[in-house]
Amino acid sequence: IKYESVIHEFDPYFNYRVTQFLSKNGIYEFWNWFDDRTWYPLGRVIGGTVYPGLTLTAGTIWWVLNSLNIPLSVETVCVFTAPVFSAFASWATYLLTKGSGAGLTAAALLAMVPSYISRSVAGSYDNEAVAIFALIFTFYLYIKTLNTGSLFYATLNAIAYFYMVCSWGGYTFIINLIPMHVLLCIVTGRYSPRLYIAYAPLVVLGTLLAALVPVVGFNAVLTSEHFASFLVFIIIHVVALVYYIKGILSPKMFKVAVTLVVSIGLVVCLIVVAVLVALVASSPTGGWSGRSLSLLDPTYASKYIQIIASVSEHQPPTWPSYFMDINACFSPLSDASSFVVLYIVMSVYFSGVMVRLMLVLAPAACIMSGIALSQAFDVFTASIKYQLEEKISTNNETKDDASSAKGEKVAKERPSKKGKKKEREPADKPSVKSKIAKKKALVLPLEASIVALLLLIMLGAFYVIHCVWAAAEAYSVPSIVLTSQSHDGLHVFDDFRESYAWLSHNTDVDDKLASWWDYGYQTTAMANRTVIVDNNTWNNTHIATVGTAMSSPEKAAWEIFNSLDVKYVLVVFGDLNINKFLWMVRIGGGVFPHIKEADYLRDGQYRIDSEATPTILNCLCTGTNLS
């Protein structure tokens, strides 16, 4: 915690406001809450448009603590929810990683990895705070069910998936990754009843439970993100039926039955595919959401949906981001890690498309690194132990040889039964010698093992130093507090909160305020004033209207804002607004053709100096910054 216990970033302020409403008014009022302070004059139905997992979790924690006479405020509970669930995520990573050594190493890595710290630091009250734990725990229960074939764990897996659906829209990663793994097992001939038990209840119970979440509803069966799970569900039933028939019929009858079953299965699959194609064809986006299409086609958002492309978390990461956020390392593959291998391959791809999904990659990278580091430590420590034992035994044998030299001469002069027995021993010893030679071949030299072990310890120390630095400098500073470093020390600027406090104390309760959508959640939560747009970004036309006003001359902007009953306009002075300005132009121009990006560029370049175009100098947003 830096400066004080405070909510970070932008989206967490909406979650905090919703949690306040839940704790004050109860769950029934929460489900039916129509918020008229956002998206004026449209408003927003909160209960049907929000993933409720984070809010219900924090609200439950607050209620339990107050029932136990521990009087913590809602804000304090919200601030510390993420750190608490980061401990749960480390525990789930330990369970998911096979082996105590590898599990402890992976859990320790996840507890420190900067990519996860960015969403688990105190004050980061966003959906991912609880969703990453739900993601890892769902994967653990799936693997547990796959290993045991227990319906109990299969039911728990469906419940964990339901909690993930409640918490974050990234649940579609689970419902696509698990079917891919099931299909991989079927194709490679590793089908078993345990695989069926691990998958079938998850699809049936998980889908039914997911449909209970208002923000998901019938999308659980109507959108393209879920269709892969249903196709694999049909395939696994066809395969299960084939294996069942094989066990009760003769080989000759089995061939006939398989032909019949496969034919019927293909017909059913074709019918299902035809229905899905019809559903997809009726949707202009093919049944996919804009964010999903951006993952499948990284250029989609920049071409068609500028509002998605304008979000910094949706930009592709740079290579330094992998070192900064993951401190990436790679490990050898094991026979039992096909699911984790598939997990890390898919998460690497998706994190390469959208920097926000580095969160999904972090647990997979920590698990693979934990396995690699644990095995490396085992090899190096075993080599050192073996080499030291061999040296000790060699010294003892040298002493024994010197003391028994005389005895051997006597034994040669008087051969006995023991002597005859010793003559036959060499014929029995090659197997033992071969085992020792084989063991010796796997052992590294003593010096190399010590050096490698020291290098691993140094690498771990540097990793800890890097993680502590990243957590302290990059992720512990709330975005609403600005700082600058000069010769006379650190200066803290609390301008954001002072501005929101001014609005709260100097404007009427019913006044409407216009700003770019980034500041909508903070304005409603901290100033308690009605905003035109906010970070939910559900209505592109409404955001384009604000973008058009911001990129228009003051007179035209006044006419637009006056039609929306706006009395105040929040414009952030400096680089923050200038950096966002071109997105206002692009989003506004996507709906209103008279706004053209070329009018704001000088020879194709975005200039804010003396060479800036008259259009950019006279518009509402940048004119106040550049004049």
Mean pLDDT of 572-597: 81
pLDDT for the residue numbered 296: 56
- In whole angstroms, give the CA distance from residue 135 to residue 164: 6
Q: Mention every residue, 6+ apart, whose C-beta is less than 8 A from residue 405.
A: none
- In whole angstroms, give the CA distance from residue 543 to residue 307: 8
Check pLDDT > 70 for residue 487: yes
Q: Tokens for 599? A: 């009018």
pLDDT of 417-429, one tens digit each? 445 444 444 444 4
For β-strands 512-514 and 566-569, DSSP reports them as parallel
Point out the least confidently predicted range of 236-245, 269-278, 331-340, 363-372: 331-340
Q: Which of 603, 619, 565, 597 is nearest to 36 (CA)?
A: 565
Check pLDDT > 90 for residue 158: yes
Residue entry with tokens 């992976």: 106
Q: Which of 263, 265, 262, 284 is nearest to 273 (CA)?
A: 265
9 dihedral zone (left: phi>0; alpha: psi -120 to 50; beta) = left
Q: Are 610 and 542 in contact (CB under 8 A)?
A: no
Check pLDDT > 80 for residue 337: no
Q: What are phi and psi of 623, to 5 degrees?
A: -60, -35
Check pLDDT > 80 for residue 246: no
Point out the least confidently predicted range of 192-206, 317-331, 340-354, 462-476: 317-331
pLDDT for the residue numbered 415: 53
pLDDT for the residue numbered 334: 39
pLDDT for the residue numbered 437: 45
Mean pLDDT of 147-151: 91
Global pTM reads 0.81
Mean of per-residue pLDDT scores for the chain: 80
Q: Ranked by mean pLDDT, which of 113-122, 317-326, 434-443 comes out on top?
A: 113-122
Check pLDDT > 70 for residue 291: no
Between 157 and 430, the higher pLDDT residue: 157
Point out the least confidently predicted range of 21-30, 49-58, 93-102, 154-163: 93-102
pLDDT for the residue numbered 319: 44
- In whole angstroms, give the CA distance from residue 73 to residue 130: 20
Mean pLDDT of 580-607: 85
Mean pLDDT of 499-526: 90
pLDDT for the residue numbered 63: 94
- In whole angstroms, give the CA distance from residue 527 to residue 624: 23
Between 610 and 122, the higher pLDDT residue: 122
pLDDT for the residue numbered 335: 37
Check pLDDT > 90 for residue 133: yes
Between 403 and 253, the higher pLDDT residue: 253
Between 450 and 412, the higher pLDDT residue: 450
Check pLDDT > 50 for residue 324: no
Check pLDDT > 60 for residue 550: yes
- Confidence band for 279, pLDDT divided at 50, 70 and 90: low
Q: What are phi and psi of 492, to 5 degrees?
A: -110, 130
pLDDT for the residue numbered 287: 55
- In whole angstroms, give the CA distance from residue 596 to residue 23: 47
Between 610 and 128, the higher pLDDT residue: 128
- Confidence band for 140, pLDDT divided at 50, 70 and 90: very high
- In whole angstroms, give the CA distance from residue 369 to residue 439: 26
- Confidence band for 620, pLDDT divided at 50, 70 and 90: confident
Between 363 and 265, the higher pLDDT residue: 363
Q: Which of 363, 359, 369 is nearest to 317 (CA)?
A: 359
Q: Which H helix or E strand runs over 482? A: strand 482-486
Domains of the chain by range and CATH?
492-624 (3.40.50.12610)
- In whole angstroms, give the CA distance from residue 153 to residue 145: 5
pLDDT for the residue numbered 201: 94
Check pLDDT > 60 for residue 537: yes
Q: Tokens for 294? A: 């951006």
Between 557 and 625, the higher pLDDT residue: 557
In the chain, what percentage of residues exceed pLDDT 70?
80
pLDDT of 173-200, one tens digit each? 899 999 999 998 888 888 889 999 999 9
- Confidence band for 332, pLDDT divided at 50, 70 and 90: very low
